[in-house]
Amino acid sequence: MEQNPTDSQKLTAFETRIAQGEKIEPGDWMPDEYRRQLIRMISQHAHSEIVGMLPEGAWITRAPNLRRKMILLAKVQDEGGHGQYLYHAAETLGATREEMVEALLTGKAKYSSVFNYPTLNWADIGVIGWLVDGAAIKNQTMLARCSYGPYSRAMVRICAEESFHHKQGKEMVIQYALGTPEQKAMAQDAINRWWWPSLMMFGPNDKDSQHTEQSMKWKIKRLTNDELRQRFVDATAPQAEFLGLTIPDPDLKWNEEKGQYDFGTINWDEFWAVVKGNGPCNRQRLQARVKAHEAGAWVREAAMAYAEKRSARENELKKEVQVA
Ligand code: BYC
């Protein structure tokens, strides 16, 4: 008589599939911890996209010309879309939209620290595209190879759009760096404020990262926080140098022997303060989300009422067809 496989046999089979590079799909057996880690990461990622709409969204009405306004409008709209794909991906693991949104609105859920810094002027929009989207792409191209199918496929689409976001930022920074002295000074000021928060996006150093080891084992993450951060610095430092802009780190220098840049130490006290809710804009960001959620209540009610009415009508039609 055939016996049902034990949990340890299921785990071995699961880890063999991962080692062979197979994707895990929603209906497949997976350890509870794999599911939990993915829900945590994907929902935090979704929240980051949604909260990330706020710092840039504030500048749509103040864009310097129509072309810039159209680009920013499309970018912020894409971010809303990314949030939707990601909430859907987390739903395939059993998380509900209501509980994820509730966790965000009550301040229980984390989202990327970088969105708790203020956007002070228009140059910030270019520098966010260059640095923040540049950092996000480094992380997300890695996640496109994640072992969980729905997350990796969402990432493929998101990365395609993110690469436009990155390019529009670079194009803007190039124009300002090569523009008037005032424009160059604005770009430099924005880099001074966004450089370190961008490096913090990759998370704590590997030695302090709680989740990296297990996530790498299950191929949720394919590179560590420090490896990705290094790749970002190596890609970005020469671009700044080419444009005559200065990265605000006196310890940043090319290390010939290692074939990569050395760079200074992140202010981890600042990082953890922001992650724990005490950054410059944490309260403001949550208040904006709560306000939007409350203002959108009638839309959700109307959508639910429509869905109920439609399904009642469909059932009536089915009965009529059966009778006929
Ligand atoms: N901010 O063990 P660790 C975008 C938390 S949005 C806040 O290393 P892990 C865009 C971490 O969650 C792109 N919290 O964790 C949108 C954990 O806490 P919990 C956002 C952070 O998961 C609009 C604890 O610290 N991208 O592109 O192995 C406009 C220990 O960390 C941060 C994603 O969300 C942080 N920076 O690695 C423009 C990518 N760092 O959960 C652009 C998906 C760490 O135990 N996420 N923490 O309470 C990831 O790749 C990984 O979760 C991280 C952290 C690399 C962020």
Half-sphere exposure of 271 (CA within 13 A, CB side): 17
Whether 154 lines ligand 1, by a CB cut-off of 6 Å, is no
pLDDT band at 324 (very low <50, low <70, confident <90, very high): confident
Q: DSSP class of residue 144?
A: T
The residue among 291, 170, 146 whose CA lies nearest residue 218 is 146
Ligand 1, residues 72, 104, 110, 132: which to mutate, most atoms within 8 A of Cβ?
110
Q: What is the dihedral of CA 260, 156, 69, 129, to 10 degrees?
A: -10
Q: Please say if the pLDDT value at position 269 is more than 60.
A: yes
Atom of ligand 1 nearest to the CA of 211: 2
Instruction: Map residue 304 onto helix, strand or coil.
Output: helix
Whether 124 lines ligand 1, by a CB cut-off of 6 Å, is no
Q: Which residue has its alpha carbon closest to ligand 1 atom 23?
A: 52
> CA-to-CA distance for 205 and 209, rounded, in angstroms?
6
Atom of ligand 1 nearest to the CA of 221: 50
Q: Which residues contact 217 (CB under 8 A, 6 or more apart)?
A: none
Question: Does the predicted TM-score (pTM) go above 0.85?
Answer: yes
Whether 210 lines ligand 1, by a CB cut-off of 6 Å, is yes
Q: Please say if the pLDDT value at position 1 is more than 80.
A: no
Contact status, residue 44 vs residue 106, Cβ threshold 8 Å: no
Ligand 1, residues 54, 112, 128, 226: which to mutate, most atoms within 8 A of Cβ?
112
Atom of ligand 1 nearest to the CA of 40: 41
Whether 39 lines ligand 1, by a CB cut-off of 6 Å, is no
Contact status, residue 170 vs residue 101, Cβ threshold 8 Å: no
Please state the three-class secondary structure of 251-301 as a single string: CCEEECCCCEEECCCCCHHHHHHHHHHHCCCHHHHHHHHHHHHHHCHHHHH
For the stretch 186-223, pLDDT in tens is 999 999 999 999 999 999 999 999 999 999 999 999 99
pLDDT at 322: 87
